[in-house]
Chain A
Amino acid sequence: MTANPSELAERVAGVVGSDRFSSDNGTAKVRVDSDHWLEAHQTLGAEMPYFSWLSAIDWATEVAVGDPPESEDVESRYEILSCLGNVETGELVVLSTDIAKDDPSIASLTDVFGGANWHEREAAEMMGIDFVGHPNLTHLYLPDAFEGHPLRKTFPLLSRDVKPWPGTVDVEPMPDEEGPSTENPEDAG
């Protein structure tokens, strides 16, 4: 059985030299500085050699698609996440760091984990993050000529623009009672 996530988070935070950690919902998450991103992985790699995944989140207050974050004080940034594990103990920890939107670059992990290669290429094309030191930061999924970074919150989802939402073609509300909403739940949240 997996170790207690809060203890795990605390221990890993000690290993990588960070004091910001959480274990909400059973997911051990340790925040590190972006300057120490590579170093943290090198240190932790000895204990947790299993590289599960790497990805990014675009934190934005204004979004072109989907719901904006509920909390209003969200700081506009990219959050890079990586997930390391130990296959003997079954432990799993998510490392995370923030990078600024005007300079989205961070050290590449390809030298530490070979598997980071594709994950970073994916994050680079989807979020527009520059992984410094990556040997081949080209498009992984998208055609070479594709412009833009689809997973950024500013990137509109075209399929939702070209076809009207069927809910808008609606009957009038019944008299004396509230008719079905004509409001798109995806717009309103």
Chain B
Amino acid sequence: MSALFDGFWALLGLKVLVSLLVILNVALVIIFAELKISAHMQSRVGPYFAGGRYGWAQPIADGIKFIQKEDLVPRDADRPVFKLAPMVVLAGTVAVFVIVPFSPTLVVRNLDLGVFYALAAGSIATVGVLMAGWSSANKYSLMGGLRAAAQLIAYELPLVLAVVGVVIHAGTLSMSGIVEAQAEPFFHLGETAIHLPYLFQGQVIGFGIFFIAMLAELSRTPFDMPIAESELVMGYLTEYSGIRFTMFFLGEYAGMFAMSAIASSLFLGGYYFPGLDSATFGPIVLMAKVGLLVFVMIWFRWTFPRFREDQLQSFAWRWMVPLSLVNIAVTATFKVVF
């Protein structure tokens, strides 16, 4: 036994278990936040009874309900693909967390190519969505899956290009490196060192593009066309039920967490906050920043209607891509000049 615990595999197992628990619990919290915030934005109260007070146990109760439901697979579905799809989505989302630095030391794996890895792993989920849409043997699912694929292609590019500005600034592709670079004082105002995250170091446009592209990647309103319940019933999720639906559901919210964590690290200084010890308060600082971004995403969702698929495409190619290229050019120029 002890040999096992000392081993590499045991440590890995422990890391995976803890990360999974943390990620899924945070996803539940985000689900609950969405329920409550959306309700109050509509003068409702939302969940109220589950768990005794404020309905805090609602996501858990929902989860238990979903698990009890029958796991239906359509007769004409491509069974292996259909069954695999939710796992791909969840796995792809969870995989992103490998490189998210919660504090200078609390990181699963500080990869040198962290940013590259994160963007690559983040798009695995979309493959899962396409799998779900294709395998369901349902026209609505198929259209939802195709929309998701088109959306991925359109928005992966500005997403990557927006990050390039930050990478140029930091001079590294490592996530921890980028956060550390933001912890360096930007300039000195007399005696005091002024720390600024990249958002305020001229990456406003970069952050804007990244955030919008992130919404599109996550299929959040105003870019939720792959689900678009008023058009495509439930899009690629139409045929899913029970535990597999839950996995998609958790995956969506874990994805929000993951992308927000990346955005926080890249643009908002990650675990670093001036005056707070990163080693101790790092995770809290990061979670606060993630919370802020998640709130904005929820806020957008419950305020805006959705775009049309072709409008989204033209928005991506006509505005986002050129803008992000301009952003790179400007950033690079400044980097060279100063």
A touches B in complex, CB < 8 A: no
> Which residues of B are at the interface with A, using a C-beta cutoff of 8 A?
none
> Which residues of A are at the interface with B, using a C-beta cutoff of 8 A?
none
